[in-house]
């Protein structure tokens, strides 16, 4: 006697009935890059991420309309300010590009869940996620203050959720406090809790024009080799009040997604980052892989690992192409 597993794989209908993991539109979050520009038609292709664009506010609204018509439920916003400075003023400006984009999106698509990435790196002239001391070190506590102000300004603009991605210590607690004090007690925080200093973010640096001018992010983002440290970071963020825990990147961290999923009962999000997107796109464009099949396998694997939410730049295309049906 031996196990005849093939009995359950004999027909398409049986295979479909027994599929354990399915992707739904409500699992997915689309990332958008909105630029502060007077040119209403601004729509600049991101070379390293074919199919993705930096968009003017007007173009963003047009793009999101198409996505919403195809079933988009949620998006994550990144901003490109008109000017950058040493303290990232554009990140927490009342009339900053993300703040304006949030209000416009909520006005036009009240049902769409609008999440904002909370960080300074797109707004600082040095490209780091926090303030830099004269000695060239990324300062923690002073940065956290600005990160919290940024989150509050997003909440005031009408964001449904804030997602701090800076990896400064104590930022989740600081954001929770400032939000609660301002009356935003019901606003959830999705924290980039397990965030590695990853080469997979390469294409994003072009997309968000946020490459650090000097050094790297290794003094605040985690070493991808570390599992125990990942769990400590997640525990700290939960303690500080995070409502959803994110693991990032996704495909190289499936073990961590599972571990976080099993250790706590909070929802887990995974971020299929720019490099993951670009690798699939590039191989597909060369005709080396079946784009839809590889994408679905990657996303399903991420969900099977334990993520109930997936941030993916493929979300819009996948919905427009009807790949989930």
Q: Which residues bind ligand PBG (CB under 6 A)?
A: 117, 119, 121, 129, 165-166, 201, 204, 217, 273-274
Q: How many residues does the chain have?
A: 325
In the set 195, 218, 292, 303, the catalytic residue is 195
Give the list of residues 6+ apart from residue 260 with CB closer than 8 angstroms, or none. Answer: 193, 194, 230, 231, 234, 245, 247, 268, 306
> Would residue 40 show up in a list of annotated catalytic residues for this protein?
no
In the complex with ligand PBG, the residue whose CB is nearer, 223 or 262, is 223
| Burial call 274-305: b when 16+ CB within 10 Å, e when fewer | bbbbbbbbeebeeeeeebeeebbebbbbbbeb
In the complex with ligand PBG, the residue whose CB is nearer, 140 or 263, is 140
In the complex with ligand PBG, the residue whose CB is nearer, 78 or 185, is 78
In the complex with ligand PBG, the residue whose CB is nearer, 229 or 262, is 229
The interaxial angle of helices 141-157 and 171-181, nearest 10 deg, is 40
Minimum Å gap between C-beta 301 and ligand PBG is 18
Contact between 302 and 256 under an 8 Å Cβ cutoff? The reply is: no
Give the list of residues 6+ apart from residue 309 with CB closer than 8 angstroms, or none. Answer: 27, 28, 29, 244, 267, 268, 269, 270
Minimum Å gap between C-beta 22 and ligand PBG is 25
Output helix, strand, coil percentages for the chain, rounded to the nearest 5. Answer: 40, 20, 40
- Nearest-angstrom CA–CA distance, 81 and 59: 16
In the complex with ligand PBG, the residue whose CB is nearer, 112 or 118, is 118
> Would residue 195 show up in a list of annotated catalytic residues for this protein?
yes
The residue among 96, 77, 218 whose CA lies nearest residue 160 is 77
Minimum Å gap between C-beta 39 and ligand PBG is 25
In the complex with ligand PBG, the residue whose CB is nearer, 36 or 117, is 117
Minimum Å gap between C-beta 49 and ligand PBG is 8
The interaxial angle of helices 97-108 and 141-157, nearest 10 deg, is 30
For β-strands 161-164 and 28-35, DSSP reports them as: unpaired
Minimum Å gap between C-beta 206 and ligand PBG is 10
Minimum Å gap between C-beta 246 and ligand PBG is 10
In the set 84, 248, 281, 303, the catalytic residue is 248
Minimum Å gap between C-beta 204 and ligand PBG is 3
How far is Cα of residue 12 from the mean position of the Cα atoms in its chain? 35
In the complex with ligand PBG, the residue whose CB is nearer, 27 or 166, is 166
Residues with a known catalytic role: 195, 248
């Amino acid at each position: 006697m031996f196990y005849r597993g093939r009995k359950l794989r004999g027909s398409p209908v049986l295979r479909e009935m027994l599929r354990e993991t399915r992707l739904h539109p409500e699992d997915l979050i689309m990332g958008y890059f909105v630029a502060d520009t007077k040119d209403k038609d601004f729509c600049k292709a991101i070379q390293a991420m074919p199919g993705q664009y930096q968009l003017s506010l007007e173009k963003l609204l047009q793009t999101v309309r198409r996505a919403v018509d195809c079933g988009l439920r949620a998006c994550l916003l990144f901003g490109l300010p008109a000017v950058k400075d040493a303290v990232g003023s554009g990140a927490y400006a009342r009339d900053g590009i993300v703040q304006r984009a949030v209000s416009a999106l909520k006005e036009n698509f009240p049902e769409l869940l609008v999440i904002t990435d909370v960080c300074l790196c797109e707004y600082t002239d040095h490209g780091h996620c926090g303030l830099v001391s004269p000695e060239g070190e990324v300062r923690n506590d002073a940065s956290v203050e600005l990160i919290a102000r940024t989150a509050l300004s997003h909440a005031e603009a009408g964001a449904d959720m804030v997602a701090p991605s800076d990896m400064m210590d104590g930022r989740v607690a600081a954001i929770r406090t400032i939000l609660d004090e301002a009356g935003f007690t019901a606003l959830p925080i999705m924290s980039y809790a397990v965030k590695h200093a990853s080469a997979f973010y390469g294409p994003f640096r072009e997309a968000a024009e946020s490459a650090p001018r000097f050094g790297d992010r290794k003094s605040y983002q985690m070493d991808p080799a570390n599992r125990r440290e990942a769990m400590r970071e997640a525990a700290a963020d939960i303690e500080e009040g995070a409502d959803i825990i994110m693991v990032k990147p996704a495909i190289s961290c499936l073990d961590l997604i599972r571990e976080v999923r099993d250790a706590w009962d909070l929802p887990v999000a995974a971020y299929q980052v720019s490099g993951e997107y670009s690798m699939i796109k590039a191989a597909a464009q060369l005709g080396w892989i079946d784009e839809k099949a590889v994408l679905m396998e990657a996303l399903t694997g991420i969900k099977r690992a334990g993520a109930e939410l997936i941030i993916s730049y493929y979300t819009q295309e996948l919905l427009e192409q009807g790949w989930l049906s």
